[in-house]
Amino acid sequence: MARTPRLTRSPARELRLGVKLRVIYADTDQMGVVYHGTYARYLEAARVEFMRDAGQTYADVEAAGYALPLTDLQISYLSPARYDDILSVMVGVVEIGYARLILGYHVLVAPGDRKGLGQPLTIAFAETCHCCIARADGRPARFPGPLRAALANLAPEGDD
């Protein structure tokens, strides 16, 4: 019987700001907070900017004949995000292997990004696992060189 270990801290040791984004009505549900499923798009938005920042856009990866489908997703929700909050989505490399990449996320509201908030508020921690595949045959493939170099550079200890 499986059991999800709750993420109570960031899965990645070093994090960079991926994006800041404002919560809109489309993101919320009738409980008056952000719907839990909305976070998948927040994480994706942060991930693509994180990669762009590392010098490799996801569009580049695809153009080079690869894809990085997400194979596993885990999110732990610590405090609800609300309409009009500005969320900071931090991203970091947890691990990069032959064909596997694990990223960690910390979603938070910074002071000033919610009315009356005096200190950073953690909203969620998350982790995504990706497999590098060759688009030609859909099979796992070693990360292309430039992407590996870019990501390893962002990994805490360039582990392989």
Catalytic residues: 29
How many other C-beta atoms are found inside a 10 Å radius of the C-beta of residue 22? 11
- Closer of 34 and 143 to a copy of itself (Cβ): 34
Q: Shortest Cβ distance from residue 97 to a copy of itself (Å)?
A: 12
Q: Shortest Cβ distance from residue 133 to a copy of itself (Å)?
A: 10
Q: Which amino acid is at 24?
A: I
- Closer of 24 and 111 to a copy of itself (Cβ): 24
Handedness of CA 51, 35, 24, 20 (dihedral sign): negative
Q: Which long-range contacts (CB under 8 A, 24 or more apart) does 157-160 make?
A: 159/95, 159/96, 160/96, 160/97
Q: Shortest Cβ distance from residue 145 to a copy of itself (Å)?
A: 22
C-alpha span between 147 and 152 (Å, rounded): 8
Handedness of CA 153, 93, 52, 144 (dihedral sign): positive
Q: Shortest Cβ distance from residue 13 to a copy of itself (Å)?
A: 7
Residue that has been written with the tokens 């919320």 in this structure = 28
Binding site for a copy of itself (CB under 8 A): 1-7, 9, 11-13, 22, 24-26, 28-33, 35-37, 40-41, 44-45, 48-49, 57-59, 67, 69-77, 80, 83-84, 94-95, 102, 104, 115, 125, 127, 129
- Closer of 33 and 148 to a copy of itself (Cβ): 33
- Closer of 6 and 139 to a copy of itself (Cβ): 6
